């Protein structure tokens, strides 16, 4: 077991400061900073993203607290230069790439943490943690017998067992030999769907095609022979995240791609599908890529086709949705997003996070520019899809911000998203400049919940423990998994 370092906001840190203040990838970004658009409230769906968003002003990130308009108060600069939190909150480093070690082999914790699912295990929890690795990074996911899809690929997931006080108990490989494991999603039958954000085919070090979804159990002993089976019927494309409807078992999948921009997909299960652990794996092995139906979203407003979600510029904009069959899910010759005519699909630049809550799927689009094929420029949209109504509603829009290095009003680039047990949601920023975990309350006010004081890398994988005590989140590069706790309360104003 690895000793954990804990820091409480407003206290003096010990000598176990995390080394390094520069991202492993140099924190190179192409997006500009984003800021939340002030708008009138949208009601009726539980979380009113489109409420009035009060400005948040601040000075240099490392020099002064951020003056929050709502939430838990200003975040306080961290003496250890890892994570700034509001007064009364604290964090523990659960795992750190290259520093902590795997308990099933002794190798360093893999780098580039991303999407994460949290599952109850008695008094403990298990995190299933993605590693978004393409093979160029120092600390890959090591291969394991029965857990490896393609020995030439560096990505995968690790399971981290965490005790009731946030202490790391064990960490081990749960799937290996996958590539660029970005986000994913929790299933109603308590597994994690990990998504490959790539369209790479076999060649070079890769012995198999990639761009698939894999199912991983939080119970480590269940994964050998099961987790490395690609769920080919969910399509081969640059997967980002998934959200699963617990009633119908439909799976909604985001695609982070360009030239042309990506699509939102829906997989509908075949008749008789119950939604049980490894039932997806059985479908992949017995029926293959033809199991169920894979479709792409097409939006309309009245009789008008919506070609790109960036056409919406006002929160509350609502489109009708229909679903169009994808001809070749395995994209043998043509990427799935290129197979349908332009008037049969609705696109979006940078489809990112997805999370099921409040009877629908929250879907994130990180940013858009006119020169990438978008209708209008923005720096983030959060949508809510209601299956019963077959409608998708714009809840929040982030306007383009021209001051990416100023900490304050410039919340930006939504990526991973999770629904909070205390109301509202938590969104991970992925943009240029200062990075935050952002809370958005039920009333629609935004606030800084945490700030990355380590480097310019994005936050990733926010997810709450089942009892609501901890918010787990990652700093992607070089790779930290953090457990955040404090005086949580419902409905911060």
Radius of gyration of the chain (CA): 21
- SS3 readout for the chain: CCCCCEEECCCCCCCCCCCCCCCCCCCCCCCCCEEECCCCCCCCCCCCCCCCCCCCECCCCCCCCCECCCCCCCEECCCCCCEEEECCCEEEEEEECCCCECCCCCCECCCCEEEEEEEEECCEEEEEEEECCCCCCCCCCCCCCCCECCCCCCEEEEEEEECCCCCEEEEEEEEEEECCEEEEEECCCCCEEEEEECCCCCECCECCCCCCEEEECCCHHHCCCCCCCECHHHCCCEEEEEEECCCCCCEEEEECCCCCCECEEEEECCCCCCCCCCHHHHHHHHCHHHCCEEEEEEEEECCEEECEHHHCCCCCCEEEEEEEECCCCCCCCCCHHHCCCHHHCCEECCEEEEEEECCEEEEEECCECHHHCCCCCECCEEEEEECCCCEEEEEEEEEECCCCCCCCCCCCCEEEEEECCCCCEEEEECCCCCCEEEEECCCCCEEEEEEECCCCCCEEEEEECCCCCCEEEEECCCCEEEEEECCCCCCCC
CA angle 438, 440, 442 (to 5 degrees): 160
C-alpha span between 247 and 165 (Å, rounded): 34
Nearest residue to 465 (alpha-carbon basis) of 187, 162, 193:
162
Q: Which residues of the chain have pLDDT under 50?
A: 1-5, 10-69, 492-493
User: What CATH superfamily is the domain 29-485?
Assistant: TolB, C-terminal domain (2.120.10.30)
Nearest residue to 236 (alpha-carbon basis) of 162, 334, 311, 138:
334
What is the per-residue pLDDT across 241-263, written as a single tens digit (0 to 9) for each?
A: 999 999 999 999 999 999 999 99
DSSP label at residue 458 = P
C-alpha span between 16 and 327 (Å, rounded): 55
Sheet-wide strand order for 124-131: 113-121, 124-131, 155-162, 168-178
C-alpha span between 180 and 228 (Å, rounded): 15
> What pLDDT was estimated at residue 461?
97
Phi, psi of 306 (to 5 degrees): -100, 110
Whole-model pTM?
0.88
C-alpha span between 78 and 452 (Å, rounded): 9
> What pLDDT was estimated at residue 275?
97
Could you give the percent of the chain with pLDDT greater than 70? Answer: 84
Nearest residue to 156 (alpha-carbon basis) of 138, 129, 187, 136:
129
7-36: burial string, b at 16+ Cβ within 10 Å, e else: bbbeeebeeeebeeeebbbebebebbbbbb
Sheet-wide strand order for 83-86: 75-76, 83-86, 446-452, 436-440, 425-429, 414-419
């Amino acid at each position: 077991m690895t000793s954990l370092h804990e820091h409480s906001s407003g206290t003096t840190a010990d000598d176990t400061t995390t080394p390094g203040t520069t991202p492993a990838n140099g924190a190179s970004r192409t997006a500009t900073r984003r800021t939340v658009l002030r708008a009138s409230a949208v009601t009726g769906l539980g979380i009113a993203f489109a409420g009035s968003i009060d400005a948040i002003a601040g000075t240099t990130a490392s020099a002064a607290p951020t003056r929050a308009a709502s939430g838990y108060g200003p975040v306080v600069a961290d003496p250890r230069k890892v994570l700034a939190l509001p007064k009364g909150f604290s964090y523990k480093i659960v795992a750190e790439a290259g520093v902590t070690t795997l308990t099933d082999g002794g190798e360093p914790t893999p780098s580039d943490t991303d999407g994460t699912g949290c599952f109850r295990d008695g008094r403990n929890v298990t995190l299933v943690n993605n590693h978004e690795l393409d093979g160029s990074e120092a600390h890959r996911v090591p291969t394991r017998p029965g857990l490896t899809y393609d020995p030439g690929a560096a990505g995968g997931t690790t399971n981290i067992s965490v005790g009731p006080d946030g202490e790391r108990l064990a960490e081990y490989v749960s799937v290996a030999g996958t590539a660029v494991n970005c986000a994913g999603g929790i299933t109603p039958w308590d597994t994690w769907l990990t998504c490959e954000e790539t369209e790479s085919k076999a060649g070079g070090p890769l012995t198999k095609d990639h761009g698939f979804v894999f199912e991983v159990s939080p119970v480590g002993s269940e994964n050998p022979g099961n987790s490395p089976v690609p769920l080919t019927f969910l399509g081969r494309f640059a997967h980002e995240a998934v959200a699963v409807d617990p009633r119908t078992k439909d799976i909604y999948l985001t695609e982070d791609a360009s030239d042309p921009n990506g699509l939102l997909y829906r997989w509908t299960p075949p008749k008789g599908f119950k939604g049980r652990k490894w039932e997806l794996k059985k479908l992949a092995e017995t029926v293959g890529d033809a199991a169920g139906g894979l479709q792409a979203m097409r939006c309309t407003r009245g009789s008008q086709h919506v070609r790109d979600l960036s056409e919406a510029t006002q929160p509350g904009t609502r489109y009708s949705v229909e679903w169009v069959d994808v001809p070749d899910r395995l994209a043998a010759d043509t990427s799935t997003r290129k197979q349908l005519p332009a008037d049969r699909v609705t696109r979006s630049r940078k489809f990112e996070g997805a999370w099921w809550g409040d009877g629908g799927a929250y879907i994130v689009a990180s940013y858009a520019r006119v020169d990438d094929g978008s209708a209008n420029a923005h720096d983030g949209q959060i949508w809510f899809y209601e299956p019963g109504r077959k409608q998708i509603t714009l809840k929040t829009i982030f306007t383009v911000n021209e001051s990416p290095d100023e900490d304050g009003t410039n919340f930006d680039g939504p990526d991973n998203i999770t629904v909070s047990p205390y109301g509202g949601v938590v969104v991970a920023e992925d943009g240029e400049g200062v990075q935050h975990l952002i809370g958005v309350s039920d009333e629609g006010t935004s606030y800084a919940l945490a700030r990355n004081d380590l480097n310019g890398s994005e936050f990733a994988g926010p997810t709450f423990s089942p009892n609501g005590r901890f918010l787990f989140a990652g700093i992607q590069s070089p790779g930290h998994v953090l457990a955040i706790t404090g005086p949580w309360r419902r409905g911060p104003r």
